[in-house]
Amino acid sequence: MNEHRIEIVVNGRKRTASVEPRKVLADVLREDCELTGTHLGCEHGVCGACTVLVDGDAVRSCLMFGVQADGAEVTTIEGVAPGGGELSDVQAAFRDCHGLQCGFCTPGFVITVRAFLAENPRPTDAEIRSALSGNLCRCTGYQGIIAAVRQVVRQRTGLPPGAEPPASDIRPPSVPVAP
Amino acid sequence: MTGHGRFVEDVVWPDTWHVAFLRSPVARGRIVGLDVEAARALDGVRVVLTAAELNPLVRSWWQTAVGPDAPQPPRRLLAAEDVRWVGEPIAMVLATSRYVAEDALELIELDVEEQPPVIADHLDRWKVEGEVGLVHPELGTNVAAQVPSPDRGMPMGNAALDDVLGTAPHVFDETFHQHRYLCVPMEARGILARWDPYRGRMEIVAATQGAHEVRASTARLLGIDETQVHASAEDVGGGFGQKMYMSTEDHCVVAAAYREECAVRWIEDRNENLVAGGHARTEDMRLQVATDETGRILGIKAHHVEDVGAFPTPGVGSNAKLAAAYLPGPYDIGQYFFSGVATYSNTNGKCAYRGPWMMETVAREQMMDIVAVELGIDPLEFRRHNMITSDRLPFTTSSGMVYETVTPRETLDQVAELIDYEGFRAEQAAARADGRLLGIGLAAYIEGSPGFGVLGAEQVSLRIDYDGKVLASTGSGSHGQSVETTVAQVVADSLGVDYEDVRVVQNDTAASPFGSGTGGSRTAAVFGGAARLAGEKLRRKVLRVAAVALEADPEDLELDLGVVRVKGAPAVALPMAQVAAMAYAGHAAFPPDLEPGLEAAHRIKAPTFMFSNAAHAAVVEVDPGTGQVRVLRYAVSEDCGNMINPMVVEGQIAGGVVQGIGGVFYEHFVYDSTGNPLTTTFMDYLLPTAADVPEIVYGHVVTPSTTPGGFKPVGEGGAIVSPPALINAVRDALRPFGARLTAQPLTPAVLLDIIEGNTR
Ligand code: FES
Ligand code: FES
């Protein structure tokens, strides 16, 4: 099959690749750019694991062909942390809040949250849930992920997440029972 | 999280051939034509393997947990003369890329003469007799397993129970159905294998819950030694049971690598994972329950029917024995009898899924509500009335399980408080007056975890090398359970070093001691217990070595945060790096009975069964216009003994609860009457999202177990008990409509039918 030469700026670096027209962006990133942090959980646009930023917008890289990204700027999960072992605030919040267990879905969530909070810096709980509803996680039951987003909102704005409904972080005390 | 994680599909080997499988398009039929020549001729295709090439390689095929003598379905790598389920692998292409391999599949000509399959619609099934044919003709029956087993001399009934059922003031009889829903790890299955015939070595990287099982299965399959196989896992993207044992496709990959003497890679896609990754649930349970006038349970008779598909794993895939053991749960049920039959069908085989035996809790906890309401007793009171209280411990259940440290009453009371059970009825009445349908559901259980056989002896090995840091290796296979964190915490604590100084290595047959992997909720209790004892052993060793250096009695020394000090003289301090240097190089002054080095290992012997307990409560709202359910509140109270890490405990519970929400309301793998799967993408097989789940509230009751560390099993419970709690809540919400509601899933269509009176 004939191949096309494409040029993408990935995480600030210019990359070129020669790809078949049918090759999806996720595979171009994973195979040609050897950036394997972008995961494929379904290859049909539902799970969100493959989410990357293309020219600032969160897109599903399994639904976009590599040739369509020619000339674009792409941010993958590898481009999110500042480096040197430091984490971005979103990543740190996922760690603090047990927002990941197996970690397979996490790159997609981190990118989604980053794009979402850029647009809506102080979302309500309902808005958080709806923004996350395009990403699937099978391990966490979403509890830690939602808590992580709230943490970022609190840290960035100094305020609790948007008005209604109040985010309850209250937990009942343990009840010790004699053995 | 940073993109630096490494999963099986991220592993790149040179000169590796990508696999795509040709799978059966029909559920049952004879293969009358299979022409792979055009596919073989395609550019980039190395080989197309069929049963003729691959199947003769099979030496033996069994799973460690069931043993070589346990019954198995007639295993085969690739379908030869006939096909037995839609998705069964028939041929295997090895090509330069998955794209090319899939192109080659298009060129294969397959002709199958269809035969009527053994299938039943999910609400009209379990007809063992009078089926149209046999799934496995060589077996002569579609019965995969039966309990009690007629040929094992087990009692086939309980006359005292029959008496009770014949004479009790109240007898209730109900059959519950649980549909087919699946593990669905976000990372599908995958394996890389390469055979080096010159060194006689098989190297495998697999998405697995237990690398040692991969090694063992590979060695058995090919008739080579386990020591010739090096199996390991990178990060594993969830498993929930599906990655506990090697699948047929995994076996095909290692066989192909062996035959072709090359590196082979299979990374399945989501469609394959849904259609062909192990299936789960799919069962019925009939319960007959007798009570006295006061609502005290006098006896329970249970009959369990499981559909195990065509090629289940492990063994014949039946979970009836554990279901029989666990069914009495947290109650004193009096007389008891359990029978079960597992049947083959022309569908994908069953695998383990988080609490594989959980139908016992799903059925029992629904029955508790049904009986309570029939008797006019509140379901909470009815449970309290029959529940085992702490003053009766140790308690031997009607199935012979011995509970020593469980606290079902405490967790039930705590969850009732967390969900505001008392206040809810007023809320419900007010809502009903407004035309809103609110319901509350409770469910309680005892989570049993097997510690018998190969599951009951796990090891943690510790090593402190020259720089004084600790390496812990275990036979566990974390795939999201944070085993690295919890084992490190226990080791740090029992040894006396900083948590940051402990590294955990696991899921690698060359680096970890033999172990059965992560599954069965045993990790905290078994690996945690072993870690604690190994830590204590190594601590004693460190103090002995330090005693030589400090010319002190080990008894007078203490070890904390990696520094040895003389008790009462804190100025005299020896950091671990110095102790280590002495242990390896400064051993000239050691007494003869002191071995150089700093290593210790402990292999723990677990009790046959370990138990934790919990109670869950859900408040739901059913939309009378759409039949849609919203889970408004969800509370969990559990007692998993000492918690190594409460966040990990709560994370395990939350993951399980949401899998239950998915199972009850959204997820359903559907076959049509010809055995053709209809839910083959995430567009049809629906998983719960962040918008579908409530915030879970937790309460912990802490009663240490009698095992080292006082830990108890916790991994599976969330998925076991959330389904009945949720179903009970919906049943409560729909009580005005008098629905029986004994079959899942509870889709909007099903609930609307009830609301609109179109159903039983
Ligand atoms: S892999 Fe792209 S959305 Fe699932
Ligand atoms: S952490 Fe495993 S899928 Fe989300």
Cα–Cα distance for residue pair B696/B652, rounded to 1 Å: 12
Give the pLDDT of residue A179: 34
Minimal CA separation from A157 to chain B, in Å = 23
Maximum Cα interatomic distance, chain A, rounded to a whole number of Å = 73
Rg (CA), chain B: 28
Contact A110, A91 (CB under 8 A): yes
Residue B629's DSSP bridge partners are B622
Q: Which amino acid is at B214?
A: V
B330 prior amide bond cis, ω within 30: no
Contact B490, B458 (CB under 8 A): no
Contact B507, B214 (CB under 8 A): no
Q: What is the dihedral of CA A142, A147, A153, A158, to 10 degrees?
A: 170
Cα–Cα distance for residue pair B756/B760, rounded to 1 Å: 11
Dihedral sign for Cα atoms in the order B359, B360, B363, B368: negative
Give the pLDDT of residue B120: 66
DSSP letters for B711-746: B---TTHHHHHHHHHHHHHHHHHTGGGT----BS--
Cα–Cα distance for residue pair B253/B240, rounded to 1 Å: 22
Minimal CA separation from B418 to chain A, in Å = 8
Give chain A positions within 8 Å (CB) of B681.
42, 44, 46
CB A50 near ligand 1, within 6 Å? yes
Give the pLDDT of residue A168: 44
Task: For residue A34, count CB atoms less than 10 angstroms from its CB and return exposed for 0-12, middle for 13-18, buried for 19 or more.
Answer: exposed
- In the predicted structure, residue B756 carries a pLDDT above the cut 70: yes
Q: Does A96 touch chain B (CB under 8 A)?
A: no
- What pTM was computed for the model? 0.94
Q: Does B162 touch chain A (CB under 8 A)?
A: no
Contact A102 B482 (CB under 8 A): no
Distance B113 CA to ligand 2 centre (A): 42
Q: Does B390 touch chain A (CB under 8 A)?
A: yes
Q: Identify the DSSP state of B278.
A: P
CA atoms lying within 13 Å on the CB side of residue B611: 22
Interface of B with A in 640-659 (CB under 8 A): 647-648, 650-651, 653-659
Give the pLDDT of residue A134: 97
- In the predicted structure, residue B77 carries a pLDDT above the cut 70: yes
* CB-based burial, B77-99: b 16+ in 10 Å, e otherwise: bbbeebbbbbbbbbbbbbbebbb
CATH of B8-117+188-276, one of 3.40.1350.10, 3.20.20.70, 3.30.750.200, 3.90.1170.50: 3.90.1170.50
Rounded to 5°, angle at Cα B687 from B685 and B688 = 150
| Chosen from A34, A43, A90, A139 to mutate, greatest number of chain B CBs within 10 A | A139
Give the pLDDT of residue B622: 97
Give chain B positions within 8 Å (CB) of A129.
690-691
Cα–Cα distance for residue pair B445/B383, rounded to 1 Å: 11
Cα–Cα distance for residue pair A100/B480, rounded to 1 Å: 8
Nearest CA to ligand 2 atom 4: A137
Residue B590: band (very low, low, confident or very high) from pLDDT cuts 50, 70, 90: very high
Distance B274 CA to ligand 1 centre (A): 15
Q: Which ligand is nearest to the CA of A103?
A: 2
Give chain B positions within 8 Å (CB) of A80.
2-3
Give the pLDDT of residue A177: 41
Q: Which two tokens stand for residue B107?
A: 């060129």
Give the pLDDT of residue B126: 46
Find the CB nearest B186 among A36, A41, A98: A41
Find the CB nearest A102 among B237, B687, B699: B237
Give chain B positions within 8 Å (CB) of A144.
647, 651, 654
Q: Which two tokens stand for residue B628?
A: 């849609």
What is the average per-residue pLDDT within B360-389? 98
Q: So what's the ipTM on this one?
A: 0.93
Interface of A with B in 143-162 (CB under 8 A): 143-146
Q: Find all residues with CB under 8 Å of B543, minimum gap 6, and list them.
A: B554, B557, B558, B559, B564
**Is B393-448+608-755 in CATH node 3.30.365.10?**
yes
> CA B1 from chain center: how many Å?
25
Contact A131, A116 (CB under 8 A): yes
The pair phi, psi for residue B139, each rounded to 5°, is -90, -25
| Chosen from A33, A39, A47, A101 to mutate, greatest number of chain B CBs within 10 A | A101
Over pLDDT 70: what percentage of chain B? 97
* Domain B453-603 CATH class label: alpha beta
Give the pLDDT of residue B621: 98
Find the CB nearest A145 among B184, B659, B690: B690
Give the pLDDT of residue A1: 61
Residue B646: band (very low, low, confident or very high) from pLDDT cuts 50, 70, 90: confident
- List, for residues B256-278, the tens digit of each pLDDT value: 999 999 999 999 999 999 999 99
Minimal CA separation from A65 to chain B, in Å = 14
Domains of chain A: 4-79 (3.10.20.30), 89-157 (1.10.150.120)
Residue B536: band (very low, low, confident or very high) from pLDDT cuts 50, 70, 90: very high
- Boundaries of every domain in chain B: 8-117+188-276, 393-448+608-755, 453-603
A117, B389, B460 from B524: Cα distances, Å? 37, 25, 12
Contact A102 B479 (CB under 8 A): yes
Contact B693 A36 (CB under 8 A): no
Q: How far apart are the first and last CA of chain B?
A: 50
Residue B481: band (very low, low, confident or very high) from pLDDT cuts 50, 70, 90: low
Q: Find all residues with CB under 8 Å of B604, minimum gap 6, and list them.
A: B457, B458, B459, B526, B529, B530, B533, B707, B708
Q: Which two tokens stand for residue B394?
A: 């140790």
Cα–Cα distance for residue pair B562/B442, rounded to 1 Å: 47
pLDDT averaged over every residue in chain B: 93
Cα–Cα distance for residue pair A42/A44, rounded to 1 Å: 5
Interface of B with A in 325-384 (CB under 8 A): none
Contact B126, B142 (CB under 8 A): no
Q: Find all residues with CB under 8 Å of A81, minimum gap 6, and list them.
A: A87, A88, A91, B2
Same fold for the pair B8-117+188-276 and B453-603: no
- List, for residues A160-178, the tens digit of each pLDDT value: 777 544 444 434 334 444 3
Residue B632: band (very low, low, confident or very high) from pLDDT cuts 50, 70, 90: very high
- In the predicted structure, residue B1 carries a pLDDT above the cut 70: yes
Atom of ligand 1 nearest to the CA of A60: 2
Cα–Cα distance for residue pair A108/A102, rounded to 1 Å: 13
Pick the range with the lowest mean pLDDT from A24-28, B115-119, B394-398.
B115-119
Distance A112 CA to ligand 2 centre (A): 15
Give chain A positions within 8 Å (CB) of B185.
102, 104, 138
Contact B99 A22 (CB under 8 A): yes
**Other CB atoms within 10 Å distance of the CB of residue B666:** 18
- B752: helix, coil or strand? helix
Tell me the count of A-B CB pairs closer than 8 A.
196
List, chain by chain if needed, residues with CB within 6 Å of any ligand 2 atom.
A 100-105, 137-140; B 186, 238, 480
- In the predicted structure, residue B131 carries a pLDDT above the cut 80: no
Find the CB nearest A77 among B3, B480, B656: B3
The pair phi, psi for residue B140, each rounded to 5°, is 75, 5
Residue B696's DSSP bridge partners are B634
- List, for residues B601-622, the tens digit of each pLDDT value: 999 988 888 899 999 999 999 9
Give the pLDDT of residue B260: 98
- In sequence order, what E strands does B181-323 have? 190-196, 201-206, 229-232, 263-267, 281-291, 297-309
Give the pLDDT of residue B758: 76
- B415: helix, coil or strand? helix
Contact B48, B91 (CB under 8 A): yes
Q: Find all residues with CB under 8 Å of B227, minimum gap 6, and list them.
A: none
Over pLDDT 90: what percentage of chain B? 83
- In the predicted structure, residue B151 carries a pLDDT above the cut 90: no
Nearest CA in chain B to A102: B480
What is the average per-residue pLDDT within B397-404? 96
> CA A36 from chain center: how many Å?
14
Contact B647 A98 (CB under 8 A): yes
pLDDT averaged over every residue in chain A: 90
- The more confident residue out of B518 and B741 is B741
Give the pLDDT of residue B234: 93
Give chain B positions within 8 Å (CB) of A145.
690
Q: Does B4 touch chain A (CB under 8 A)?
A: yes
Give the pLDDT of residue A173: 38
What is the average per-residue pLDDT within B519-534? 79
Q: Does A14 touch chain B (CB under 8 A)?
A: no
- List, for residues B162-188, the tens digit of each pLDDT value: 999 999 999 999 999 999 999 999 999
Contact B693 A142 (CB under 8 A): yes
To the nearest 10 degrees (0 to 180), the angle between helices A143-157 and A106-119 is: 40
Atom of ligand 2 nearest to the CA of A103: 1
What is the average per-residue pLDDT within B443-452? 90
Find the CB nearest B480 among A35, A36, A139: A139
Maximum Cα interatomic distance, chain B, rounded to a whole number of Å = 88
Contact B681 A80 (CB under 8 A): no
Cα–Cα distance for residue pair B423/B445, rounded to 1 Å: 24
Give the pLDDT of residue B36: 98
Q: Which ligand is nearest to the CA of A101?
A: 2
Task: For residue B224, count CB atoms less than 10 angstroms from its CB and return exposed for 0-12, middle for 13-18, buried for 19 or more.
Answer: middle
Give the pLDDT of residue A172: 39
The pair phi, psi for residue B448, each rounded to 5°, is -90, 145
CA atoms lying within 13 Å on the CB side of residue B242: 27
Nearest CA to ligand 1 atom 3: A45
Contact B690 A46 (CB under 8 A): no
Residue B437: band (very low, low, confident or very high) from pLDDT cuts 50, 70, 90: very high
Q: Does A104 touch chain B (CB under 8 A)?
A: yes
Q: Find the DSSP H helices in B29-116.
A: 37-41, 51-54, 98-106
Minimal CA separation from A71 to chain B, in Å = 23
Contact B691 A43 (CB under 8 A): no
